Amino acid sequence: MESNKILSMESRAPALIVRDWVRGEALASFQPGKVYILEFCGTSCDSCDEAMLKLIELQETYKDRGVEVVAVVAHEGAASADEARAYLEAWSAQFPELNFRVAFDTGAMDTLWMEPSFSVEIPQAFVIDRDGYIAFIGHPHDLHEVLPKILDGTWRTSAQAQAAERERIAEDEPKAREEALKKQVKAKFAAAEKIEDWKTALAAIEEGVALDPDNLLFREAHVHLLLHKMHDMQTGLPLLRQLVREGINTNYEMMLTVASYQLFNPAYDYSQFPSVERFAIGKELSEHILAEARLQDDDDRAHSYLMVAWYYHASGNKERAVELLELALQPLDGPGPDGLKDDLLQTLADYKGEK
């Protein structure tokens, strides 16, 4: 499904096409005479939790004036629709006062709503007025001011609304165009990776890094491709060292994790890596991760200890690796995020030569 039509204030509202409804009854279409707040959100979006709480307040305040809130989660990184639904159900359960419909989707709503309106970031809200036209596109925190004006019919044709919409488009259109280019890069990279055409994959990912030099996903794919697929140590290792340096200087945990995975993930083959350089980089990285682990909560510390254990085991210090894994396991009550406890137990058994 494709849509090349620009979506803005005064546009007719597109269709409501979702994969499934997680909370509330299914809504097939927007009904005339009602005002709908359609919010795009996600379970891993930091500001979406606060936006959901604000929407609960708005729904309660304006329920008698024909306002209905609908939340759509359309940006999940889950492997399957079932997994996305499970994440969403767990996430929505943290809002006991939830008083509106929640759905999830895997593509159509982005194509119909987000992309044509130059919307890139979430949470993002659309207000559909009683006539079925879009009266507002923007951040949910602006709804407290805008919604009363939409309800009394003074907003959509006001100079303030026109100015706000021009400002939104001027700010969001360049972001959306860059995002579209990044999407093309990802598609080219994925297609080349699928057929193991590493030269084409490299050209695609280099295009992505040039487009967005700070994009960690692109940088990780670049390093991984060079080191683990093309075995180009001369080009790949300096890029990996740069990741480690930046990760340490900024204490960017995700960057440190990415670097650690490239150096010591047990699933990778390191037979073509220069050992001296690999362990020199690993020592600096692991010492930093260990120092910072003291300030982390139990789950994050356990994950840090697992990564550092990989380094010690690979470098020959099995006793220290086992010690770290046992320390990581001590405070964990449940399975931890993404099966962390199982990973720790399995790695510990492997290092001890047990089942």
Looking at the predicted structure, is the pLDDT value of residue 324 above 90? yes
Q: Find where tokens 């030269």 sit.
A: 199
Strands 101-104 and 67-73: parallel
Structure tokens at 196: 């193991």
> Tokens at residue 25, please?
């009854």
222-270 residue pLDDT tens: 999 999 999 999 999 999 999 999 999 999 999 999 999 999 999 999 9
Q: Residues 327, 305: contact at Cβ < 8 Å?
A: yes
pLDDT of 34 strictly over 90: yes
Question: Which residue carries 């840090």 as its tokens?
Answer: 304
Please state the rounded mean pLDDT for residues 160-180.
94
Give percent of the chain with pLDDT exceeding 90: 81
Sequence letter at residue 258: V
Q: What is the spatial distance between Cα 100 and Cα 74, in angstroms, rounded to a whole number?
A: 17
User: How is residue 214 annotated by DSSP?
Assistant: T
Q: How confident is the model at residue 327 (pLDDT cuts 50, 70, 90)?
A: very high
Cβ neighbour number for residue 184 with a 10 Å cutoff: 14
Residues 6+ apart with CB under 8 A from 325: 305, 306, 309, 344, 347, 348, 351
* Cβ-defined contacts of 253-257 (< 8 Å, 24+): 253/292, 253/300, 254/216, 255/216, 256/285, 256/288, 256/289, 257/303, 257/307
Chain centroid, CA 122 distance in Å: 10
Provide the pLDDT for residue 3.
47
- Nearest C-alpha neighbor of 39 from the set 127, 167, 130, 149: 127
Dihedral sign, CA of 157, 35, 133, 176?
Answer: positive
* Average pLDDT along the chain: 92
Q: How confident is the model at residue 336 (pLDDT cuts 50, 70, 90)?
A: low
Query: What is the model's pLDDT at position 329?
Result: 94
Token pair, residue 355, equals 């089942």
Crossing angle (nearest 10°) for helices 253-264 and 275-293? 140
Q: What CA–CA distance (Å, rounded) separates 325 from 308?
A: 9
> What are the tens digits of pLDDT across the range 180-234?
999 999 999 999 999 999 999 999 999 999 999 999 999 999 999 999 999 999 9
Say whether 22 sits in a helix, a strand or coil: strand
**H runs (alpha helix) in the chain:** 48-62, 81-92, 108-109, 143-151, 159-194, 198-211, 216-224, 233-250, 253-264, 275-293, 298-314, 318-329, 340-352
Residue 83 confidence class, pLDDT cut points 50, 70, 90: confident
Residue 247's pLDDT is 96
pTM for this model (two decimals): 0.74
Query: What is the reported pLDDT for 353?
Result: 86
Burial class for 168, CB neighbours closer than 10 Å (0-12, 13-18, 19+): buried
pLDDT at 79: 61
Taking residues 70-99, what's their average pLDDT?
A: 82
Q: Give the mean pLDDT of 69-80.
A: 80
pLDDT tens digits for range 2-26: 445 899 999 999 999 998 898 899 9
16 Cα distance to chain centroid: 23
Q: Are strands 20-23 and 35-41 parallel, antiparallel or unpaired?
A: unpaired
What's the CA dihedral at 77, 78, 82, 83 to 10 degrees? Answer: -130
Which burial class, exposed, middle or buried, applies to 109 when counting CB atoms under 10 A from its CB (0-12, 13-18, 19+)?
A: buried
Mean pLDDT of 59-81: 86
Predicted confidence at residue 85, as pLDDT, reads 76
pLDDT at 301 over 50: yes
Q: What is the pLDDT of residue 82?
A: 76
Task: Note the pLDDT of residue 4.
Answer: 53
Angle at 243 between CA 238 and CA 248, to 5 degrees: 125
Distance CA 283, CA 89 (A): 41
